[in-house]
Structure 1
Amino acid sequence: MPRLTSSPPHIHFFFLFFYIPCFVFLCSLSHIAESQIQDREQEVLLQLRQSWRDPPSLDHWVPSNSSSHCTWPEVTCQDGSITELNLVNLNIDYSIPPFICDLKNLTKLDLSCNNIPGEFPTVLYNCSKLVYLDLSQNYFEGPIPSDIDMMADLQVLILSATSFSFDIPASIARLQRLRILHLNQSEYNGTYPEEIFGLSNLEELSLSYNPQFVQSQLPQNFTSLKKLRFFSMLQMNLFGRIPETVSDMEALEYLNLGENSLTGEIPGIIFALRNLSELYMYKNKVSGSIPRVSATKLRVIDLSYNNLTGNIPEDFGKLNLSSLNLHFNQLSGGIPEAIGRLPALSDVRLSNNNLSGTIPPDFGKFSPLRRFEVAYNNLTGALPEQLCQNGMLTGLAAMHNNLSGELPESLGNCRSLFEALLNDNGFTGNVPGGLWKSPNLTALVLSGNGLSGELPGELSRNITRIEISNNRFIGKIPSTVSSWRKLMVFDATNNLLNGTVLTELTELPSLTTLLLGQNELSGILPTDIVSWKSLTTLNLSHNKISGPIPSKIGLLPVLTQLDLSDNQLSGLIPPEIGQLNLNRLNLSSNRLRGSIPAKLENAAYDASFLNNSGLCASNSFMRLNVCNSQSHRSSKTDHTLIMILTIAAAMVIVMLVLLMIRASRKNRDWYDSTPKLTSFQRLNFTESNILSGLKELNVIGSGGSGKVYRIDVNPSGDAVAVKRISNNRKLDEKLEKQFVAEVEILGNIKHLHIIKLLCCISCENSKLLVYEFMENSSLDHWLHKRKRLSPVSGVANNMILDWPKRMQIALGAAKGLCYMHNDCSPPIIHRDVKSSNILLDSEFNAKIADFGLARMLAKPGEAVSMTGVAGSFGYLAPEYAHTTRVNEKIDVYSFGVVLLELTTGSEANDGDKDMCLADLAWRHMQDGKPISDALDEEVKDECNVDEISNVFKLGIFCTATLPSTRPTMKEVLQVLLKCSDPQYNVEKKSRHKFDVVPLLENSMYEGMPRSDFHALECNTY
């Protein structure tokens, strides 16, 4: 074995006494330097906390001997130095101090979801190593600086959901290392630089939710982004076709072009992108059929709200889809069987198409189905038995099809179900017992089927809405109904229910609508109903209910509709009923007796008391017997004497009226017949007051049907407006119909924002309609008369109708129309909404007037046939010119024109014979011009331009060509209320943190089409 040699002793000595001390010395220097760096960085952090006024979320930022600041959760260190600060959602509401860049090794700074104010923090230019910057969801404002390219090393820049405005600077395109760029959800009001699409390293690009960008085509050069994986240009006013060159973007995984105006067909190459996982193209105008699919990684497809036709591709059944959304198109054919077998499918929305055939039976069997919507199609057969096989189904909407058979028993075991909307089909048999009791169920709508059985004794405690009308349910309402504490709507109309109206029903504090008409209920009504504080509608008609009407019904604070007709009720009508502010009252066909309450002696309730032989009224116009105030023991002589005196008095009155008429040469058409006055309100004047005022001196307007007069009816100066419908010969059929329509409608409705018809006076050749007088004339006078004359004094009035008054007028008119469309039964369409038919009182409150062309619909949402086109040019909906079938949407169109008048100051027929105001407004938007250029300069200023712009946009939505894409008046009113609510606008900033651009998508729970107008949020523009 060889001998090991050792180093000479002097070598060991040198190593021990020279190298080791040097090494120790160098280590100590390094440790000292590192310690100094850590001390300095900790000092910076503590300064940060102090400059931000010590927010509670940073209470743990305190020096400690036992641990380093590198252990603080917001701090990431490398080699003892801070490289990342993640200060997310800490309620920081002060600006960023410049000394933050004393953290020399800082590479990532995330300040998202705070309240930091001010302009873009250019102090960060000094953070030389910064590669990741996230300032999203803060209160930054002003422009992005043009020298932002000084942060040359940035790879990630996220500025979403802020208030940055003006143009996006082209200098961003000089940040050549950028991989992620998010500029979505801000207030840019110019353009985006196309140079961005030259950033060759981009992997994520989001420009979404910038609706104030000037309208532009989808840039052709966006396909040069070869590395792009995430691309979103949602709601950006894009139009034009999608370039075929999208095929160059092979790395693309996420593509969102939703809510724009893209047209043409979908390029087939999109469905061939091999890495594409999510595709969103909803709410555009693309048409044609859906291309064949060869991309294998697609998980999400959303092509809803377009004009797509043809069949659903069979290839969809070969994908691994989790979400398929094709609703609101024009697709036809059947649903491919293979789609029902997709293992990851959780969201299926195919409603509002023309689909036919049966629903594939495997839906839900192999996948965690959560949402299944196939409403408003032509589907037949049964519902799939295993929709809730995996126990995750929350929403089911299959209403308005031709489905049949029994409801699947598996629905009775579906504890996750939130809403089941199965109305208007042909389902039969019993409802699965467990379905009533599903613990999360809030709405069960089964109306319009052939279902039978009894109502359950136990019901889900969360249910708010039960609609089972037009079925064959039998038996009694269970006494356990008192436990349905959250129930708001209970509609069991037209079934075979018997028993009594239980006292337990009156214990439901949230109930707003109770509809039990057309059943076999009997017994007397509960007397103690004071718990119905929220009840607005009560219908118990067509039953066998007897006994008196409870007086406490008259104490229900918000009741507006009461129908107890076709029962066996007896006794007096409680006077308390007269205290209610009812839009609809029907007590006809009962056994009531006595006089009706004085406050109900109104022509609006003329048909409310028919077929009650014992009822009487003090006025003959009520179509009831006139009450006799004398005792039944009065002699026949007394009756005769009273009759003679009454006739004599009437003859004297008639003679006086005739003498007054003859005294006026300009009113000779009254000679031929005796005027008849029908009152609809309590009057403080007589016929003679009106007739004597029909002088040319009092004329304040005229129209196609006659003149309008302002008449003082008493010495105190009270005035009325009188519309005179007359003709030299007998009234022709058209004028007669207008008169009847006006009286029939205004005599039966009451609303703060609908003109009040006081009475009518008629004879053979002329008819007078007497209204409340509106001191400020019409909206048309204020908007369009250059020499504004005071309607009272006739003196020139230079007062400008400012924006708050215009907003007040828009709200009032919307409330009146909303009432007509939604709260009147049957609904009423006006057919002639225009600025001259919106009258203004002394406080500029708006009232809808001139109902001569109005029509009542048979059912809500149902069209009515017209014999001809009527209305005014500039306000006519396009469909009205070529069809006789119209509904409420023609009023929505006309009201949209009024909104455009209010915001632009222009007249409805501004333009040539082929181009009216609505067309001009649409052209303005399509040309990409700023909305502010279209607004009325008389009222526009920097404080209200956003609000006026939103009302202008609402006018655009209301005047959409297709009626189905227009909002309802109820939706229009909701947007106007938000626009006019100061508190709502004050909260503008705080909303950035939570729901910056809320998208109100189609509600499967309402079953009605929705339009693009839902993206309109008054505080996001």
Structure 2
Amino acid sequence: MPRLTSSPPHIHFFYIPCLVFLCSLSHVAESQIPDQEQQVLLKLRQTWQDPSSLDNWVPSNSTSHCTWPEVTCQDDSITELKLANLNINYPIPPFICDLNNLTRLDLSNNNIPGEFPTVLYNCSKLLYLDLSQNYFEGPIPSDIDGMANLQVLILAANSFSFNVPASITRLQRLRILHLYQSEYNGTYPEEIFGLSNLEELSLGYNDKFVPSQLPQNFTALKKLRFFSMPQTNLYGGIPETISDMEALEYLDLGINPLTGEIPGSIFALRNLSELYVYRTNVSGSIPQKVSAANLSVIDLSFNNLMGNIPEVFGKLKNLYSLNLGFNQLSAGIPKGITHLPALSDVRLSNNNLSGTIPPDFGKFSLLRRFEVAYSNLTGAFPEQLCHGGTLIRLAAMDNNLNGELPKSLGNCSTLLLVMLHNNGFTGNAPGGLWMSRNLTALILSGNGLSGELPKELSPSLTRIEISSNKFFGKIPSTVSSWRNLRVFDASNNLLRGTVPTELTELPFLTTLLLGQNELSGILPTDIVSWKSLTTLNLSHNKISGPIPSEIGFLPGLTQLDLSDNQLSGLIPPEIGQLILNRLNLSSNRLSGPIPAKLENAAYDTSFLNNPGLCASNSFMRINVCNAQSHSLSKTNLTLIVILTIAAAMCILLVVLFTIRASRKNRDWFDSTPKLTSFQSLNFMESNILSGLKEHNVIGSGGSGKVYRIIVNHSGDVVAVKRISNNQKLNEKLEKQFVAEVEILGNIKHRHIVKLLCCISCENLKLLVYEYMENSSLDHWLHKKKRLSPMSGVANNMILDWPNRLQIALGAAKGLCYMHNDCSSPIIHRDVKSSNILLDSEFNAKIADFGLARMLAKPGEAVSMTAVAGSFGYLAPEYAHTTRVNEKIDVYSFGVVLLELTTGREANDEDEDMCLADWAWRHIQDGNPISDALDEEIKDDSNVDEISNVFKLGIFCTATLPSTRPTMKEVLQVLLKCSDPLYNVEKKSRHKFDVIPLLENSKHEETPRSDFHVLECNTY
């Protein structure tokens, strides 16, 4: 066996230094890794233009970058970056993947633009990726399966479009997939439901998905705990096999056109804790067998469910929230529900429930929200609703409840909102209710409550509505302490005494309604604190003395009603400085001339039953003054114009601020849309939202659908235009929504459609108008539209000439008001027969102000960035210049006159010749006008009248804007046509015929002066 020998000494001296050197190299290499990663972070900050949110990314000798808040390390190497909510505005650079050990990347809630960042494909160890709430757009790439290790992929709330690619289903390790709230306009692969490791799947709020049914295999997701697909165009039924999803805890299939019954197997899910199947078309009854042991949230609202509320709901011991609102449930509320120990949120409104409210509600659980409004409930109100001292929101309006309100409500300090209006409650309101320290809104209108108004009020109260009760006595002088009050409606009560001066000291008051009481005395004049007041109604009282001139200096006042009092003296000229949507001074003892600024068609009924009043305008329905008795000096007129424009600008700023605020704010307790009212309303936003169903659709256009919605038990109807339901509103539609609110929210005229309110949030924009029973003019003029089911007025009736003339006159009055009587002239830019709506008496109202614009002053052109409008109605100059004025509306209205007289459509399905050109060609060819008229309406008694309105349409559609009449001149001619006295008197006049004039000149060269001799010759 060989002998082992030791190495020579000189070998040891060489080997040991080598080992030391190699070890030092290894240590240097390891120490360079953190340095390299820190350089990546610093370079990342520099690329993103040094956002202030990353100010802590500063190298330090004492600390490592692993201590920076956004960074997580393991073994001194970065594994996680949490860069959410940092206001990053730039793309993701490719070198971010130089962080070789990065497994988790969160860039949510920033402003990152561009397409899906494929540079992240190089982050080979990435397991978790969150890019939600950014501005990514375009398709999800088809090779996304290259990120094979991903377990969590969150791309929600972006602008991704097209299809969800099939390649996403090859990410077999996915546990969480969130694709909700984007702009996909194609399909999603059914294979998603084959990702066997999925625990969370959210595809909701993508309403452009191609309609589809839940695939048969979706119940095979055995590990799925969270499943959300609201508003994804799902149709068909919910399969019974849903019980196979044994891990399911949360289910949301709301806002879909699902049909059929809710399968009882849903309630057999042992782990189910939250169930949302709201706002669908699910009908039938609620299954009676319920055994979901962990069920804590049930939301079956906004369906067509019928039958009873199951008694077995009273056995769900973990039930925290029960929302069955907006269905057709009947019978009573099961008493067993009141004994559930966890129950906190009860919403049963808008059903057909009857019987009494079980008295034990609140006795065994800590209620926070209790809503049973809009049903047929009777009897007394539960005494112990606030027994646990946690009740926040209480709504039981529009029932048949009676008796006295529980005194315990006066001790419920947690209340924020109380709505008990339109019931039969009697007696006094609980004294403590007025002083509840957190209460912001108290609405008790439409009951039989009595008593005097409180001397003290909770400082939190901003809204008190107690109209149509039996409150009596004086308004207390301590009302000045109600400092935060914004709305005070005590109309139709038994209040007496004067309007106290102290009431004028409320700086935030926007609405004061004291009409239909027994108030007397003179009005206070020191009202400088009412800077926020928009609505003042003191009508139907016994108030005497003069109208204070100070009212004319209230900057925000848009509605003033002092009618049916004993006011006397002159109408202060300062009132003419206000921009009022509503003015009523009728039935008083006023005298003298009305201010010149109030002499317009919008106020033609505002001064009736004041025998001493007079006006210079014969259309004001009161006596005509001596022409010189009320003329204003040029100086005064100039002052009024300046002040009026200033007031208008203030109002516009307030409206713009309100709209912007409504986009940013949510409702108090849930993210319900924000309602901004412009009129007195007899409904709530819930009444509108519940009616947004397909069977209520009566029209559809480029900006969205229009719904006909019944809003209360009285059968009142409104029209609702739904602008959009996407997260990020299209810029064009956003501008149209803002324009409509800005303009219609600040003008009022009997021939302009009334905007009642707007409802707005991030993903919903609604405009609520008065409902026009006879739809739009085009549905009555054109044969192929008369039988359209979408119009809501399908019929075979012919619109006769007197009605057509009445419609022309009404529409002209509306446009004339916009052009001449608004402080800033308004051009509509889209006048057409489909935007002229008709009420039950065929009165015309101009609608759709989405393209409207305000001018700086009459006749001054405004610049447009793009041509907008409808073919056949567009003025020639509109297509060739960006600067337009009122004359484009005159041209469009001329086309409407030609439609009214000929029955033809504006384009008449002829791409080469619109109606205006056809009418001119008809005249140029020497054809009789009578041959162009609608055969369905003309006869020997009206042919001349129709002919002259036809000629008026010819003048209005002149090619040169300068040769067209103004709307005021158009209105004058139409008024003569509709005035029977004028028609009788002019029988002896020389009959003027405009045809020779038109035959001897080109259309675009029609002499402007000749328009004035056009008269309405009716015999």
- Pick the TM interval, shorter chain: 0.5 to 0.7
Counterpart of 2:407 in structure 1: which amino acid? E
Corresponding residue for residue 420 of structure 2: 422
Q: 1:56 to 1:436 in 2, by over 3 A?
A: same
1:545 Cα deviation after fit: 2.1
Q: 1:571 to 1:119 in 2, by over 3 A?
A: closer
Matched, 1:147 2:140: no
How far apart are the structure 2 equivalents of 1:151 and 1:265? 41
Q: 1:72 to 1:455 in 2, by over 3 A?
A: same
1:23 Cα deviation after fit: 12
**2:100 pairs with one of 100, 104, 110:** 104
Residue pair 2:589, 2:612 contacting (<8 A) in 1 also: yes
How far apart are the structure 1 equivalents of 2:131 and 2:619? 72
Corresponding residue for residue 854 of structure 1: 839
1:530-541 matches, cutoff 5 A: 530-541=528-539
How far apart are the structure 2 equivalents of 1:486 and 1:598? 37
Corresponding residue for residue 318 of structure 1: 315
1:730-745 matches, cutoff 5 A: none
1:339-358 matches, cutoff 5 A: 339-358=337-356
Matched, 1:128 2:71: no
How far apart are the structure 2 equivalents of 1:151 and 1:221? 25
Q: 1:575 to 1:47 in 2, by over 3 A?
A: closer
How far apart are the structure 1 equivalents of 2:417 and 2:910? 49
Corresponding residue for residue 844 of structure 1: 829
How far apart are the structure 2 equivalents of 1:20 and 1:350? 85
1:397-416 matches, cutoff 5 A: 397-416=395-414
Matched, 1:308 2:305: yes
How far apart are the structure 1 equivalents of 2:201 and 2:477? 60
Corresponding residue for residue 444 of structure 1: 442
How far apart are the structure 1 equivalents of 2:275 and 2:622? 67
How far apart are the structure 2 equivalents of 1:624 and 1:206? 65
Residue pair 1:813, 1:846 contacting (<8 A) in 2 also: no
Q: 1:451 to 1:177 in 2, by over 3 A?
A: same
Residue pair 1:821, 1:829 contacting (<8 A) in 2 also: no
1:247 Cα deviation after fit: 1.7
Q: Secondary structure at the match of 1:309?
A: strand
Matched, 1:68 2:67: no
1:792-831 matches, cutoff 5 A: 819-820=753-754, 822=756, 829=772, 831=774
1:558 Cα deviation after fit: 4.7
Q: 1:412 to 1:192 in 2, by over 3 A?
A: same
Q: 1:99 to 1:480 in 2, by over 3 A?
A: same
**2:496 pairs with one of 491, 495, 498:** 498
1:224-263 matches, cutoff 5 A: 224-263=220-259
How far apart are the structure 2 equivalents of 1:624 and 1:95? 68
Q: Secondary structure at the match of 2:328?
A: coil
1:250 Cα deviation after fit: 0.8
Corresponding residue for residue 452 of structure 2: 454
Give the alignment's Cα RMSD to 1 decimal: 4.4
Corresponding residue for residue 285 of structure 1: 281
Q: Secondary structure at the match of 1:62?
A: coil
1:175 Cα deviation after fit: 1.1
Q: Which has the higher contact order (CA 8 A, sep 6+)?
A: 1
1:595 Cα deviation after fit: 5.6
How far apart are the structure 1 equivalents of 2:58 and 2:598? 75
1:871-950 matches, cutoff 5 A: none
1:562-641 matches, cutoff 5 A: 562-577=560-575, 580=578, 582=580, 584-593=582-591
How far apart are the structure 2 equivalents of 1:495 and 1:273? 55
How far apart are the structure 2 equivalents of 1:588 and 1:616? 13
1:937 Cα deviation after fit: 15
Matched, 1:165 2:165: no
How far apart are the structure 2 equivalents of 1:224 and 1:828? 48
1:590 Cα deviation after fit: 4.1
The answer for unaligned runs of 5 or more in structure 1 is 1-9, 11-16, 632-681, 683-750, 752-779, 781-801, 857-869, 873-887, 897-901, 908-935, 939-1021
1:72-221 matches, cutoff 5 A: 72-221=68-217
Corresponding residue for residue 517 of structure 2: 519
How far apart are the structure 2 equivalents of 1:512 and 1:809? 23
Residue pair 1:465, 1:490 contacting (<8 A) in 2 also: yes
How far apart are the structure 2 equivalents of 1:129 and 1:625? 87
Residue pair 1:813, 1:847 contacting (<8 A) in 2 also: no
How far apart are the structure 1 equivalents of 2:771 and 2:210? 40
Q: 1:123 to 1:457 in 2, by over 3 A?
A: same
Q: 1:619 to 1:94 in 2, by over 3 A?
A: closer
How far apart are the structure 2 equivalents of 1:82 and 1:604? 70
Counterpart of 1:161 in structure 2: which amino acid? A
Residue pair 2:599, 2:617 contacting (<8 A) in 1 also: yes
The answer for unaligned runs of 5 or more in structure 2 is 1-5, 7-12, 633-678, 680-700, 702-731, 758-768, 782-806, 816-826, 851-867, 874-908, 912-1019
Q: Secondary structure at the match of 1:76?
A: strand
1:314 Cα deviation after fit: 1.4
How far apart are the structure 1 equivalents of 2:870 and 2:602? 38
Matched, 1:834 2:777: yes
Q: Secondary structure at the match of 1:324?
A: strand
Q: Secondary structure at the match of 1:338?
A: helix
How far apart are the structure 2 equivalents of 1:229 and 1:467? 46
Alignment deviations for residues 21-77 of structure 1 (CA, whole Å, 9 cap, x no partner): 999999877755542333333333333333333333223233333333322222222
Alignment deviations for residues 615-651 of structure 1 (CA, whole Å, 9 cap, x no partner): 66789987877879999xxxxxxxxxxxxxxxxxxxx
Counterpart of 1:93 in structure 2: which amino acid? N
Alignment deviations for residues 69-115 of structure 1 (CA, whole Å, 9 cap, x no partner): 32222222223332222222222333323333232222222222222
Q: 1:26 to 1:317 in 2, by over 3 A?
A: farther
Alignment deviations for residues 441-497 of structure 1 (CA, whole Å, 9 cap, x no partner): 222111111111111122233333211111111221122222333333221112121
Give the length in aligned residue pairs: 691
Counterpart of 2:204 in structure 1: which amino acid? S
Alignment deviations for residues 520-561 of structure 1 (CA, whole Å, 9 cap, x no partner): 222211123344344343322332322222233344445444
Residue pair 1:34, 1:80 contacting (<8 A) in 2 also: no
Residue pair 1:317, 1:342 contacting (<8 A) in 2 also: yes
1:596 Cα deviation after fit: 5.4
Q: 1:95 to 1:503 in 2, by over 3 A?
A: same
Residue pair 1:805, 1:844 contacting (<8 A) in 2 also: no
**2:431 pairs with one of 433, 442, 447:** 433
Q: Secondary structure at the match of 2:183?
A: coil
Q: 1:86 to 1:565 in 2, by over 3 A?
A: closer
Residue pair 2:829, 2:869 contacting (<8 A) in 1 also: no
- Among all aligned residue pairs of Structure 1 and Structure 2, give the percentage whose two residues are the same amino acid: 75
1:709-788 matches, cutoff 5 A: none
How far apart are the structure 1 equivalents of 2:524 and 2:124? 79
Counterpart of 1:305 in structure 2: which amino acid? F
How far apart are the structure 1 equivalents of 2:51 and 2:910? 46
Residue pair 2:744, 2:754 contacting (<8 A) in 1 also: no
1:157 Cα deviation after fit: 1.2
Q: Secondary structure at the match of 2:567?
A: strand
Q: 1:227 to 1:937 in 2, by over 3 A?
A: farther
Residue pair 1:368, 1:390 contacting (<8 A) in 2 also: yes
Counterpart of 1:302 in structure 2: which amino acid? D
1:462-473 matches, cutoff 5 A: 462-473=460-471
1:847 Cα deviation after fit: 8.3
Residue pair 1:179, 1:202 contacting (<8 A) in 2 also: yes
